[in-house]
Amino acid sequence: MGQYVVGLVKRCFNNKYRHSHPKIIEALKKEIDSKLLTSYVFYHEKRAELVELLQQDAPEGLDKVFLLSTGSEATENAIKLARTYGISKGGKEKHVIVSFSNAFHGRTLGAQLAGGIPALKEWIVNLDPGFVNVPFPDGYFMKDTSFDVFLNSLKEQGIDPKNIAGVISESYQGAGPFFFPKEYAKKLEAFCRENDALLIMDEVQAGFGRTGKWFTFEHYDIKPDLIACGKGISSSLPLSAVIGRSDVMNMYPPGSMTSTHSASPLPVVAAIENLKVLKEEKMTENAAELGKILKERLQTIQEKHPERIGFVASEGLVAGMQIERNGEGDKEAAYKINERCFQKGLLMFAPVGIGGRCIKIAPPLMITKDALQEGLDLLEEVCNEVL
Ligand SMILES: Cc1ncc(COP(=O)(O)O)c(C=O)c1O
């Protein structure tokens, strides 16, 4: 289970479930045998069941769910809803979408306009001035993590807060992982309420137990207006969702918010079983518990190489180490660590983040303590060799 095929290769292949939990396989086979493989916009029982499951764990008041296929589709939809909401409340001026530097929200046009990685926007050519980036308070690239930076950045860019339709952010930035300081997140929530701007949390990567909470925004004790979900929602077949306030989700008349494969039966049954398994097997709790080991071990590795590991971030079962040399990102060393780990049997995502300097660690949520320890032993051994 989990978004990425990351972890100990040897261990994963020895593992009982690998990435194909028998309950998911069984549900899929049953669905295939029932011969309902497509549903287009029509109702089916499993669709209702999934929507209910998602509602149950969403904050109060977020009681509508729109099912889609990819994470990008979910963030696109959330952006569209926010703009439509803004225009309905304050006219066309109220259309601005605020997002963060280094953010990633997907590969489609709106998602990349909202993203905060300039190289990914080159193909767009004519950027939309209604999309505005502000610095993310990561504490690494942006040392000043006060909310004043957000306010000042808007001011410098000539944005009147009243014209903001929505603010979108990953609950943690994938490139770090970088988390909001809680106080900043609370101020952001208050800012959105004050200016009637929708707060959109992109939980495509962060949701469904990854950081030891069902949704990562729960760490900040905030309530978004819209949640974009993907990846770990099904841990297998393509399914994503937007969960939101019904007054926002009901703005479009029937027939306007559609997608051909929305709630397609096979992904839907995979997602239902996945959500149940995550709970039955206490994977969120597992992520929280094993996350303590992951954090502690990475800090120890950093202490051994303070000049080369500039920053370590970790929450639940997601973590990252920023590899540096002379205070600059060291892409070559990060790549070497990644490659050597792979050769020794530890498969991790290729280095991510600005300049490819970040070793990203995101093991499956069902990883055992022993497998995690073994993986970390190996990572430590390789860091000692390379750094
Ligand atoms: C935070 C975040 N949002 C959106 C997306 C896009 O999801 P998808 O690749 O399913 O379109 C991703 C994918 O990596 C992501 O990490």
pLDDT at 18 (0 to 100)? 57
Q: Is 176 in the pocket of ligand 1 (CB under 6 A)?
A: no
Which sign does the torsion angle of CA 335, 171, 105, 288 carry?
positive
Please list the pLDDT of the chain residue by residue as tens digits (387 residues): 443 334 444 444 445 545 789 999 999 999 999 989 999 888 899 999 999 999 999 999 999 999 999 999 999 999 999 999 999 999 999 999 999 999 999 999 999 999 999 999 999 999 999 999 999 999 999 999 999 999 999 999 999 999 999 999 999 999 899 999 999 999 999 999 999 999 999 999 999 999 999 999 999 999 999 999 999 999 899 999 999 999 999 999 988 999 999 999 999 999 999 999 999 999 999 999 999 999 999 999 999 999 999 999 999 999 999 999 999 999 999 999 999 999 999 999 899 988 899 999 999 999 999 999 999 999 999 999 999
CA of 165 to the centre of ligand 1 (A): 22
Report the distance separating Cα 111 and Cα 97, nearest Å: 11
Element spanning 309, H or E: strand 309-315
Instruction: Answer whether 110 contacts ligand 1 (Cβ < 6 A).
Output: no
**Ligand 1 atom at minimum distance from 111 CA:** 4
Is the beta carbon of 72 within 6 A of some atom in ligand 1?
A: yes
Q: How far is CA 155 from the centre of its chain?
A: 28
Report the predicted TM-score, pTM, of the whole model to 2 decimal places. 0.95
Pairwise CA distance, residues 207 & 213, whole Å: 8
Mutate to test the pocket of ligand 1, among 77, 204, 259 (most ligand atoms within 8 A of CB): 204
Can you give the pLDDT at residue 40?
87
The DSSP bridge pattern shows strands 172-173 and 178-179 to be antiparallel
For residue 308, report the distance from its CA to the centre of ligand 1, in Å.
29
The CB of 274 under 6 Å from ligand 1? The reply is: no
* CA 90 to centroid of ligand 1, rounded, Å: 30
